[in-house]
Structure 1
């Protein structure tokens, strides 16, 4: 088979036609109504004309792992609540997580909040009181929590029309097809970065990067790409090979682990329920949830719930009827939540594995940020309360 090393991706032919064809296509068919890519009056920026970096930064963080159509309503709500850097830096983590609720990957919200405080603390106001806290270099942006090279490049090109390349998942796919690269892009990231930098139009970097993202989002899609509408069809090695969907080549993914989680909706004599706040680190850090944990092999789910509540909260409960069972998939694991109503028997709840615990009435749950899976638990609980059923364990 020869050497295991693959050749670094190379630009297929002259660069200028690639740039021109992509930008001509984008002017006709690109997405020109993305709010953070426009001035407040809705007009498009001219070459070299800056845009408000704050809105671009917020959007770019939201777009990590999430599609534009999902992000748009969250971005509008965010900008209404936290219209500028000062407002975000002054906000509490609770307020930030409440606004992020449902968008997933909550570490992004905490990093955005921490970055705002970092920028706010280091910005130097001018004598006119109008300091500019926004970095103009990759290193400046990458010094903020959660900002990698591609996000930094996208912010710099979008906000300031600076010639910095991008290489998110969509762009990796487009470039891997353009050159029909025989190995997964992640194995040759340095080469793909060089390819993205070489292709970038230094005169119109903002437009070029947006055009590249629009091409990946709307034409060069993961499945069934619309090659007939692609401005790069004549240059594309994957199209010439007759099977663009075969690229990018993927590594065989490891099996996704499956776990069963026992969850207790614990109520007291007053009808309040017990919730706890997760520790600040991790995917769902800082969010609230109903307590529980992983089922051990051979363990009945009722025993799982009793054990977990004893270990994590130092309380004893009676486990009653099942409230709901639901499944939820993350990128790295699949979970089945088996939720039972429980009656608190003894022990003052203690946050042994969380930040804090709290007794709340069912109608107060809406005031707390919960992970997406918990929303269905809350809905089932609210339906039971609305039907006049007791929360007491059966």
Structure 2
């Protein structure tokens, strides 16, 4: 992975870039490596240093993040970058405790950056490490209650030297060999001490407490295009889902949303609705479309000229709305 510096490069005197490591860890939360690669490279090309990122416009960063999901991470990314510049002279602190004081950095990220970027002997525990520890010790207590137990197991194995290499090796072990289904026990370097392999229970670990059924929320969005081709969009409130992101004006998301058009217009309901799944609920959005005259004055939102509008800058849920609505509102 491009944000890593392995033992050979370390030996050659090439240190990890704490900024690149931190950026990768924030992006990788709840997201796959495959999804993060291009975003990580793009961010580093646009904002090569933490100072560059700290000086960026919020809207530009949110647009570059669009499609990666969990948008609170993008807001925290900016808060943290600005704190590093304002409080630490643009240099990331190199200890777990100091990193933990930065906005948006929790125990996992603090441990990961301290270990990988600064080779501190911190215990890094993600989902891959939890799975390896549960199988290595044949631990059947279910997650999330078992997390402190699995963290303790991981801590016992964390070395004082080369902790960063070790942390990445265990995460890679879980990602490539000790996989959720069909673990490749025959080629695992820990096959002999693995208690779950001996017991034949590896495929069923770690156990997890059953999740509750995912609820569904509903909403109404209003997609309007002015006679000159401009689109009516608004920046969502900083707090809440998709906070600070560009989106279509709309209702609240609830069991029974009330119509809330941004202006009086001849709205047409599309036959299809946009569907998207967030971490804790499914979302179904009815789509209302309208063409507006040049003199239209919406109560909220702003018109973005067609030449300046990019669907790629929208979060995924809002881009799904656009994909359904744009054919109806495309220019003749």
Per-residue Cα deviation, 1:255-278 (whole angstroms, up to 9, x for no partner): 100123222212445443321111
Contact 1:259 1:335 in 2 (8 A): yes
Contact 2:225 2:329 in 1 (8 A): no
Establish whether residue 242 from structure 1 lines up as the match of residue 207 from structure 2: no
Contact 1:111 1:146 in 2 (8 A): yes
Quick one: structure 1 residues 336 and 204, their matched pair in 2 at CA, closer, same or farther if it must change by over 3 Å?
same
2:46 maps to which residue? 81
Gaps of 5+ in 1: 1-33, 125-131, 352-356, 389-394
2:266 maps to which residue? 318
2:188 maps to which residue? 230
Per-residue Cα deviation, 1:266-296 (whole angstroms, up to 9, x for no partner): 2445443321111012231100111223577
Gaps of 5+ in 2: none
2:127 maps to which residue? 169
Contact 1:48 1:162 in 2 (8 A): no
Per-residue Cα deviation, 1:202-248 (whole angstroms, up to 9, x for no partner): 22211111110101111112222222222222222222221312111
Secondary structure at the residue paired with 1:335? strand
Per-residue Cα deviation, 1:159-207 (whole angstroms, up to 9, x for no partner): 1111111111111111112112121242133332222111012222111
Matches within 5 A, 1:287-366: 287-293=245-251, 307-309=259-261, 313=262, 315-322=263-270, 324-343=272-291, 348-351=297-300, 357-366=301-310
Separation (CA, whole Å) in 1 of partners of 2:156 and 2:5: 26
Matches within 5 A, 1:90-109: 90-109=55-74
Matches within 5 A, 1:27-42: 34-38=1-5
- Report the aligned-residue RMSD: 2.7
Quick one: structure 1 residues 291 and 386, their matched pair in 2 at CA, closer, same or farther if it must change by over 3 Å?
closer
Which has more radius of gyration?
1
Matches within 5 A, 1:67-216: 67-124=32-89, 133-216=91-174
Shift in Å at residue 61 of structure 1? 0.7
Aligned partner (choices 319, 322, 327) of residue 378 of structure 1: 322
Shift in Å at residue 79 of structure 1? 0.4
Separation (CA, whole Å) in 2 of partners of 1:323 and 1:386: 17
Separation (CA, whole Å) in 2 of partners of 1:295 and 1:283: 10
Separation (CA, whole Å) in 2 of partners of 1:385 and 1:262: 17
Quick one: structure 1 residues 47 and 242, their matched pair in 2 at CA, closer, same or farther if it must change by over 3 Å?
farther
TM-score by length of 1: 0.76
Per-residue Cα deviation, 1:93-131 (whole angstroms, up to 9, x for no partner): 01111211111111111111111111101124xxxxxxx
